Amino acid sequence: MPFDAVRALHTVDHPRWLKEFLRLVGKGINRYEMIGAGDRVLIAVSGGADSLAVALALALRRRFLPITYDLKALIIDFRQYPHPPNRLQALHEFFDALHVPLTVHRADINPDSYGGTFNCYTCARNRRRILFETVRSWPGIPKIATGHHLDDIVETTLMNMATRGTVATMVPNQAFFGGSVRIVRPMALIAKRHISRVVERLELPISNIACPLKTRNIRSRFRPVVEELESIHKGARLSIVRSLENVDTDYLPPQRR
């Protein structure tokens, strides 16, 4: 049966490296109050390593918690840059092993309403629109869980400061539409290298699309900057994130109105 090793994780004792990964996910969820009893959570699946890792964590954590929450997963398959059929099949088998239903939503990457523009911003905006439309009819306050991690948050912080002149970042638990929907980032406290270890050891079925901007977007150019900061000071990633919650206004100029 496909992904027997993943399926077995629902019952067997976990290796130390996986326990540590799940512990850090739980730490982030609890610190930022992301998911509670009875919540309905949609996992935003890109097919990449990060979204598969967060799906794994959210599914396995239900085994140990005194509460229950509902999980569903959605992958957006753009017609212009589709996932290979064999990779989609592998993703279905993986999510079946997690006991999480996966839906494939096919769409155009740049709908007419976007004026034919194609870039990372419009692609992300289109994905988010589809995710919001998917959970709009769900009762209560739906949660959309993404695979964003510590490196993503640090990169976003530096990008906003360097290119927009603003202090802003990805919020681990972010409200939209007056709080009727929330985007949560359960891996907010986990560095990319720890996620990569989990994905490699469990041989998760990564599916990448042939996006022409994959290696030419501005985020990819900031990643080496984060690595360089970490080499200068071990723990730089966490320090940058903590700085956003530890603002000393006595040493900042007045905010512009």
pLDDT one-digit tens code per residue, 37-74: 999 999 999 999 999 999 999 999 999 999 999 999 99
pLDDT at 120: 72
Q: How confident is the model at residue 126 (pLDDT cuts 50, 70, 90)?
A: confident
pTM comes to 0.92
What the chain holds in terms of domains, given with CATH numbers, is 4-251 (3.40.50.620)
> Which band of pLDDT confidence, cut at 50, 70 and 90, is reported for residue 113?
low
Mean pLDDT of the chain: 92
**Percent of the chain whose predicted confidence (pLDDT) is above 90:** 81
What is the 3 state secondary structure string of the chain? CCCHHHHHCCCCCCCHHHHHHHHHHHHHHHHCCCCCCCCEEEEEECCCHHHHHHHHHHHHHCCCCCCCCEEEEEEEEECCCCCCHHHHHHHHHHHHHHCCCEEEEEECCCCHHHCCCCCHHHHHHHHHHHHHHHHCCCCCCCEEECCCEHHHHHHHHHHHHHHHCCCCCCCCEEEEHHHCEEEECCECCCCHHHHHHHHHHHCCCCCCCCCCCCCCCHHHHHHHHHHHHHHHCCCHHHHHHHHCCCCCHHHCCCCCC
* d(C-alpha 7, C-alpha 216), whole Å: 37
pLDDT per residue as tens digits for the range 220-242: 889 999 999 999 999 999 999 99
